[in-house]
Amino acid sequence: DFKVDEAENFFQAFFQGEFRIEKPYLLSVFLEDKQGKILEKLAFNDVVISKNNQASMAHIEVFRKEKKFNEYFGDGLIVATPAGSTAYNLSANGPIVYTLAQAFILTPVCSHSLTQRPIVLPKGFEIEIMAKDCILCIDGQENYKMNDFKSIKVGLSDKNVALIHPKNRDYFQILKEKLHWGN
């Protein structure tokens, strides 16, 4: 990640071996259809469950180990990676989580309850999501009707993606600039 006017300097440094690699974790999404076939998808930023039409409110149930973990009423639910925490998750008042943290985030979208707040969950915590008449969207690219699936499970994947950064990249300085923190 560099600005266009920094491209030449970045590539010169890159070919001289002056770079570093970060490996943020992805989300694993397991979609089990009504016949029992499981499709695994990966998400870099987020998985968003949203209501199918404007007239209704989404009712989303989240389970862990077959026990109800939480229930959400509103416009939807964001399941975000740390890398995705500064995307749609942040717009929905979700927390910023350091990119390399081994965690993921559940953030309700326009919740109908004042007590529903985002929560950060650790690696190894797998959730099952159930919702009728909702759409599941992976990284804003792939859409699925939740009614088409018997089970949808999401958790932090063991898989990651290698990102090449300038050696002097400072995550917190970038946040400060993008979010206009301080002077």
- With tokens 């404007």, the residue in question is 54
Return d(Cα 159, Cα 61) in angstroms, integer.
26
Return d(Cα 68, Cα 112) in angstroms, integer.
19
Tokens of 91: 């717009």
Instruction: Please state the pTM of the whole predicted model.
Output: 0.94
- What are the boundaries of each domain within the chain? 24-161
Reference 44, options 1, 86, 20, 80; nearest CA is 80
Return d(Cα 152, Cα 175) in angstroms, integer.
33
Return d(Cα 100, Cα 11) in angstroms, integer.
24
Give mean pLDDT, residues 87-103.
97
Q: What is the pLDDT of residues 98-152, one digit of tens each?
A: 999 999 999 999 999 988 999 999 999 999 999 989 999 999 999 999 999 999 9
Judged on CB neighbours under 10 Å (0-12, 13-18, 19+), 113 is exposed
Residue 183 clears pLDDT 70, i.e. is over it:
no
Superfamily of domain 24-161: Probable inorganic polyphosphate/atp-NAD kinase; domain 2 (2.60.200.30)
Give mean pLDDT, residues 48-71.
92
Q: How far is CA 101 from CA 26, 97, 119, 142, in A?
A: 11, 7, 14, 25
